[in-house]
Amino acid sequence: MDLPFLLYTLLKIVVVVFALLTAVAYTVWFERKVVAHMQSRWGPTRVGPYGLLQPLADVIKLITKEDITPSGVFRLVYLAAPCLAVITALLVFAVIPFGPRTEMGGIDIFQITDLDIGLLFILSVSSMGVYGIALAGWSSNSKYSLLGGLRSSAQMISYELAMGLSIVGVVLLTGSLSLRQVVDNQSGSWWGIIPHWNVIPQFIGFFCYFVSAIAETNRLPFDLPEAETELVAGYHTEYSSMRFAMFFLAEYTNMTAVSCVATVLYFGGWSGPVFGPEALQTVLPLLWFFLKVLAFLFVYVWIRGTLPRFRYDQLMAFGWKFLLPLALANMVLTSFVQAVRYGG
């Protein structure tokens, strides 16, 4: 482990985190704009052209607000919970490949690290995300927070199973847990027109993944942990200022992360039509990747603008009685097909 390698990695992390935070800030703007247009409103318009500076204003507002710690909280956990939420959300990006292997000084610049067990890493990190929320709910010493935390842990545990099982289909097709290999496996096309993406053989798996991913990120229509009509604001009721902003940040980072993972697993990652001059070829994959992620984020917002919230028992029944069996069936079917294809 030599020094340049370490420095390069650090640099990559800094760049990714910086780009990500900017992207997340503009995801908020994007959401507000899209929802507004769906509801025949304008959305943010005041700060900058098309309200483009709105995120910046929001950040300044959140930072400068008074940070209130309610009495009776368990301080250490109360302070650590938002950090935990953000860290687990950010960690996912450590293994996501944003583009094909492009070396600069012997080091891949489009991925922080290519783990052999990339997919497992993502699963394990996202499974830890529940702690930020559950502990925030518990340590706030408030009934609303506690209920929000409880709901979220139940929800995340239930849907994590379906998510993990739906991913197994992709792993079976690829034969590897490395995300880069997952993408490489999707290069090419059928008959020159239909891209060789996993979403086509794995459409059931994709459906399960995306639905449970929405539930995992606590977004509508699965946003019961923070259902404002029932629980004020759920687990982060007692949080204010920067700490509230961190939960906010974690939620949107998770959305982005889930979109990135869905792109990588099911939509061929950075692959896309190749055109233009030689110089463009380095940037083009990044563009495709970005556009695909953007499309997913749009779907997120679209769903939010369209669907009503589930009732709690419906949520659990849907997860356990429909999604989980479906994901299991998909896994069995996929392994059967693979076994027939490659011989027992």
Partner 1 sequence: MQSVLPSLFFYALATMILVSAVVTITRRNAVHSVIWLISTLLGIAGLFLHQHAEFLAAVQVIVYIGGITVLFLFVIMLVNLDEAAKKKQFAGQWKIVVICAGALLAELGFFIFKGAEGFYFAEPAGGSLQPNTQLIALALYRDYLLPFELASLLLLVAMIGAVVLAKKDLK
Which CB sits closer to partner 1, 28 or 147? 147
Which CB sits closer to partner 1, 150 or 303? 150
Nearest residue to 15 via CA among 81, 98, 126: 98
CB of 216 to partner 1, least distance (A): 11
Number of neighbours of residue 79 by Cβ within 10 angstroms: 13
Q: Put residue 195 in one of left, alpha, beta given phi > 0 → left and psi -120 to 50 → alpha.
A: beta
Cis peptide before 221 (omega within 30 of 0): yes
Residue type, 270: W
Which CB sits closer to partner 1, 135 or 326? 135
Tokens for 142, please give them. Answer: 């408030």
CB of 321 to partner 1, least distance (A): 16
CB of 119 to partner 1, least distance (A): 9
Tokens for 84, please give them. Answer: 């935990």
Which residues would be at the binding site for partner 1 (CB under 8 A)?
74, 77, 115-117, 120-121, 123-128, 130-131, 134-135, 137-138, 146, 149-150, 153-154, 156-157, 160, 164, 177
Neighbouring residues of 123: CB distance < 8 A, sequence distance ≥ 6:
160, 163, 164, 167
Give the span between the Cα atoms of 82 and 236, in whole angstroms. 9
| Residue 189 DSSP one-character state | E
CB of 333 to partner 1, least distance (A): 20
Classify the C-alpha dihedral 81-114-258-295 as positive or negative. Answer: positive
Which CB sits closer to partner 1, 26 or 320? 320
